[in-house]
């Protein structure tokens, strides 16, 4: 019994540390990619490869990195919640904050930044397509809303099983 508790605490520490390091790494790389995208976007025009398209590529890489990090973190949070329950700790921390509006806004702020920059860079690449830039931005917001609605439904199902 004692060995099992120690193993669970060790796993909990590992998951938390790994999430922390992955989060730090993601933000460092994203900072470089986003800063690079801003620098490239306003460079002199090139006929071979327009700078705004290069910027969109950097933003896409940043989006993929953040999205995959979020998927991994959700799996880690689920396991952390399980461990905390097994150890008889207070209500799992993540469960206490995950549905709060400020947490959702904080978690999704990077996607709002990606959407905004993507729409701006698309407009810079294709200035005659302002409407399409808005469509890209609004479609992204809609997808983000559906993602949060799905997360809300999952939370409610999980709560009803408890």
Torsion sign across C-alpha atoms 121, 123, 126, 132: positive
Sequence-ordered strand ranges (E) for the chain: none
> pLDDT tens digit string along 64-122?
999 999 999 989 988 988 888 888 876 666 667 777 788 888 888 889 999 999 999 88
Predicted TM-score (pTM) of this structure: 0.76
Q: Are 120 and 140 in contact (CB under 8 A)?
A: no
What's the pLDDT band for 43 if we cut at 50, 70, 90? confident
How far are the Cα atoms of 12, 52, 70, 144 from residue 89, in angstroms, in the given order?
Answer: 12, 50, 24, 32
pLDDT at site 26: 93
pLDDT at 127 over 90: no
């Amino acid at each position: 019994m004692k060995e099992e508790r120690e193993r669970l605490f060790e796993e909990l520490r590992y998951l938390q540390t790994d999430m922390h390091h992955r989060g730090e790494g993601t933000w460092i790389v994203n900072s470089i990619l986003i800063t690079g995208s801003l620098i490239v976007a306003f460079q002199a025009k090139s006929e071979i490869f327009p700078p705004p398209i290069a910027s969109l590529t950097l933003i896409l890489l940043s989006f993929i990195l953040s999205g995959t990090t979020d998927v991994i973190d959700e799996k880690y949070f689920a396991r952390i919640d399980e461990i905390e329950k097994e150890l008889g700790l207070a209500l799992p921390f993540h469960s206490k904050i995950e549905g709060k509006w400020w947490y959702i806004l904080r978690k999704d702020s990077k996607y709002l930044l990606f959407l905004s920059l993507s729409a701006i860079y698309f407009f810079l690449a294709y200035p005659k397509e302002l409407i399409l830039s808005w469509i890209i931005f609004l479609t992204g917001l809609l997808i983000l809303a559906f993602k949060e609605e799905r997360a809300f439904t999952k939370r409610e199902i999980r709560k009803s099983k408890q």
